[in-house]
Amino acid sequence: MSLARPAPLALILLALGAGEARPQSSLAPTPGSLPPPRAAAPAPPAPAPGGPRLVPAEQPRNLAAPPPRPAQQPQQGPEQPFRAPQVQAPARPTATPARPPTTPARPRATPPTVGGTTPPANRRPAAAAAAAATGAAAAAAAAAATAATRPSAPALPATPAAPTIGPATGLPLPRFAALRSDEVNMRVGPSTSYPIEWTFQRRDLPVQIVGEFQLWRRIRDADGAEGWVHSSTLAGRRTVLVRPPSATPEATLRRRAEDGAAAVARIRPGVIARIRECEADAPWCEVQVSGHRGYLRRAEIWGVGATEEIK
């Protein structure tokens, strides 16, 4: 026996509502009902065979180009400082410099020469001796007239034969000194009562002191002439007189104390130089002459002992 299935609820409700009359004035769908179907758009007519093909109109486009997006800068980490971009300078054209002309080697300069061809005179005879040479009678008369009024001259002290100590100064004898001025009178004895024998005319001329008597000093020059001068006419500075051997007309002032050193200047005989330093028993002495400084051999100068040390 088969049981009939109950009719769905929707069909029952539809059957009940079909018998009611609905007004035709309102076309609006009731709530809960489905909207009426829309009419389909008519299809475009098919083109005729061989006719022009219709292309649907394109949508209008925006002809304005969008603005370019800014380039995104790479993010710098906190440990990487910002670095400005390096601009590479354009390469300069390399030009080959012109080679300068070859300069010929300069000849080695000749050292200057100090001094004249003729050595200057260190002293001249006294005026009384020159007057006596012109007239013996007049000189004899003048000598007789002055002899009557001249006080007795002191006795001449004996010249020491060996190195000793001066009785007036306590300094060793002999020793060297220099003349203080260009006019120094050398007398026969240690007093103004004695006549003048020579007059020195060169300042800084070296002399050797060989005797003392009170304020007077007995000196000897490079030529061997001896006499008495007052102590005030002598200075303690040390100078030398250039006297090279007869075989060499000039002495060579060298840059170092050796024969192979460069020559600074040529020194002619009779030139006065100032001593800067002499080591004991050394064959060279450092001197300065006319703005030139160098070394001369001890054998080429007069005014320093053979083994003397000067600093």
The pLDDT, as a whole number, for residue 116 is 85
CATH classification at residue 276: 2.30.30.40
Q: How far, in Å, CA of 168 to CA of 217, rounded?
A: 10
Which residue has 């004991």 as its token pair?
A: 280
Residues 169 and 267 in one domain: no
CA-nearest of 213, 222, 119 to 176 is 222
Strand partners of residue 241:
272, 302
Q: How many domains does the chain have?
A: 2
What are the phi and psi torsion angles at 211 (to 5°)? Answer: -160, 160
Q: Is residue 84 part of a domain?
A: no
Q: State the pLDDT at residue 153.
A: 54
**Six-digit token string for 78:** 């906190």
Residue 180 · residue 234 · CB < 8 Å: yes
DSSP state letters, 143-212: HHHHHHHPPPPPPPPPPPSS-EE-TTT--EESEEEEESSS-EEEESSSSTTSPEEEEE--TT-EEEEEEE
CB 270 within 8 A of CB 119: yes
The domain boundary, picked from 237, 259, 286, lies at 237
Give domain status of residue 256, yes or no. yes
168 and 250 part of one domain: no
Q: Are residues 177 and 262 in the same domain?
A: no
Of 237, 258, 289, the one marking the end of a domain is 237
Evaluated on CA atoms 232, 190, 196, 115, the torsion sign reads negative
Q: Is residue 96 part of a domain?
A: no
pLDDT below 70 — which residues of the chain? 1-91, 93-108, 127-163
What pLDDT is recorded for position 109?
76
Residues 128 and 211 in one domain: yes
Structure tokens at 24: 């035709």
Residue 44, in any domain of the structure: no
Find the domain containing 248 and state its range. Answer: 240-302
- Is residue 186 a part of any domain in this protein? yes
**Which of 212, 237, 262 is the endpoint of a domain?**
237
